[in-house]
Amino acid sequence: MSQDTLDPFRKPPPPPTAADDAPKASNRWWVLVVISLAQLMVVLDATIVTVALPDAEKALDMSEANRQWVVTAYALTFGALLLLGGRIADFWGRKRAFVAGMVGFAIASAIGGAAQNEAMLFGARALQGVFAALLAPAALALLAVTFTDAAERAKAFAVYGGISAGGSAIGLLLGGVLTEYASWRWCLLVNVPIAVAAIAVAMPLLRESRAEGNTRYDIPGAITVTLGLAALVYGFTRAAEESWTDGRTVAMLVAGVLLIAVFVLIQQRSAHALLPLRIVLDRNRGGSLLAMLLIGAAFIGSTLFMIYYMRLVLGYGAVKAGAGALGITVGVFITAGASAALLPKIGPRIPMVVGALLCAGGTFWLTFITVERQYLTHVLPGMVLIGLGLGLVFTAVASTALIGVQEHDAGAASALINAVQQVGGALGTALLNSIATTTISDYIADKQGSGGDPNKILLDAQLDGYTTAFAWAVVIMVVGAVIAAVLVNAGKDALPREGAAVHVG
């Protein structure tokens, strides 16, 4: 066993050649297993806690305004630091970054599973996002340097892509099973044995590799964008607790906008920018990413209330609620393949616009939910429509965001697709949760002293809050569709060839 295997955190040797870097054929598929476990863990944690959230909220006495931090703390740090994590993995060493990310993710998961209060849980989720931002790009880079044969690489990335696509659905189901038959805490603790097993296999198999070139990191950029996004999320949260005109609410929202403006200035002047602005200033790329930001914000934010509706209003158990959300996954799988076949024939704009409008239509369907158990007529059709739309949007955005990108920007552009989705989800969840919570509070205040049944009033208030959040989500999705229609004008011939760039999932 080499010294590098015994001590993966020491300064790595000069980058090996492709032939030296690739493990033996008998070991490569075990490397794929390890990397797939890591990717599954990262993707699972975006959804696994959603089904468990009502239980965690009750156990830790969270407020309705603060509960969204369980989702947003992870998505915010993951999305904001993903580009920096990829750069660190490239220059620090991919094996080193992978192992450090796995260890850190497992420790953060253990802290979250043992949380005694909401602050401890929120902090653990944020820490998970930090290490996921290091782990995900390292895993993908290791996959690329391990499988050098074109046919084998295609098979490996097919497995990786399948896990990325299906991980969210697995997270909903697994979250329901663990919550109902064990505890909500196991939705976090389950990562520990997965990480231990992956590290045990990874240490002797993975070979170190790193990139040459400028190894300086844009730390000021990473700090300002993370603090700016956190300030916006906190401002949305405080608006639910106080009001939109509260002095501290306004101050945090203004601070968030200013910090993001400072981030843009840093990117303009930095020689080693975290996000080279040329990537997002392209009309097609910028338009598709902005549409993804809005659609992701509305969809991920809405998912929280779909689960809460099934669990608190319809009275579904955790497993049934997790299974009830799979209509979205079915829709995605139906249209994702069809969209990939359509893009070379009609270009990206039509699928992107139609997909966004299908998402809006499905979410609008959910505004008609009632307190009755009418899942098949009031919930499932809306979810399937949303899934059909997402399949079209995600495939079109993934292709359009890479149009005309230079070779040295391909990694950043690919990672940006996922970063935008995570950041949008964090902001959308915080905003829609604030709208729903405010609506619920106002409804209850209006009904106080009316002499009605308190339980019925609370149920009606929750329904009013959820449908209001869905309505605002519809507006956001329609805006996304308009942006795609106006800005995205690439023709079918402009799309990159299949496999031109690798997406960090």
Domain boundaries, the chain: 21-215, 218-271, 276-505
Q: Is the separation of the CB atoms in 429 and 458 below 8 Å?
A: no
DSSP 404-468: T--GGGHHHHHHHHHHHHHHHHHHHHHHHHHHHHHHHHHHHHHHTTS---HHHHHHHHHHHHHHH
Q: Supply the mean pLDDT for the chain.
A: 84
Superfamily of domain 21-215: MFS general substrate transporter like domains (1.20.1250.20)
Model confidence band, residue 109 (pLDDT cutoffs 50, 70, 90) = very high
**Torsion angle, CA of 106/107/109/112, rounded to 10 degrees?**
170
Looking at residue 23, its pLDDT comes to 54
Span 450-458, average pLDDT = 82
Pairwise CA distance, residues 53 & 72, whole Å: 12
Q: Which span out of 75-84, 101-110, 305-314 was modeled with the highest average pLDDT? A: 101-110
Model confidence band, residue 502 (pLDDT cutoffs 50, 70, 90) = very low
Span 193-215, average pLDDT = 81
Span 193-219, average pLDDT = 81
Q: Which span out of 24-28, 162-166, 402-406, 429-433 was modeled with the highest average pLDDT? A: 429-433
Tokens of 238: 């405080």
Span 203-214, average pLDDT = 75
Pairwise CA distance, residues 41 & 470, whole Å: 29
Provide the phi-psi class of 61: left if phi over 0, else alpha when psi is between -120 and 50, else beta. Answer: left
Is the pLDDT at 279 greater than 50? The verdict is yes
Model confidence band, residue 493 (pLDDT cutoffs 50, 70, 90) = low
Question: Tell me: the pLDDT tens digits for 357-389?
Answer: 999 999 999 999 998 878 899 899 999 999 999
Model confidence band, residue 416 (pLDDT cutoffs 50, 70, 90) = confident
Q: Distance between the two ends of the chain, CA-based, in angstroms? A: 32
- Please indicate whether residue 139 or residue 501 has the higher confidence score (pLDDT): 139
Q: Name the CATH topology of 276-505.
A: Growth Hormone; Chain: A; (1.20.1250)
Q: Which span out of 214-223, 236-245, 317-326, 445-454 was modeled with the highest average pLDDT? A: 317-326
Looking at residue 6, its pLDDT comes to 39
Q: Which span out of 140-149, 191-200, 279-288, 360-369 was modeled with the highest average pLDDT? A: 360-369
DSSP 116: S
Tokens of 408: 């040295």
Is the pLDDT at 177 greater than 50? The verdict is yes
Looking at residue 297, its pLDDT comes to 93
With 0-12 CB in 10 A as exposed, 13-18 as middle and 19+ as buried, what is 127? buried
Is the pLDDT at 337 greater than 80? The verdict is no
Span 129-142, average pLDDT = 88
Of 1-15, 334-348, 432-446, which range is least confident?
Answer: 1-15
Looking at residue 479, its pLDDT comes to 97
Looking at residue 272, its pLDDT comes to 81
User: Do the first three CATH levels of 21-215 and 276-505 match, i.e. the same topology?
Assistant: yes
DSSP 372: S
Span 327-343, average pLDDT = 84
Model confidence band, residue 4 (pLDDT cutoffs 50, 70, 90) = very low
Name the nearest CA neighbour of 326 among 113, 463, 172, 146: 172
- pTM for this one? 0.84
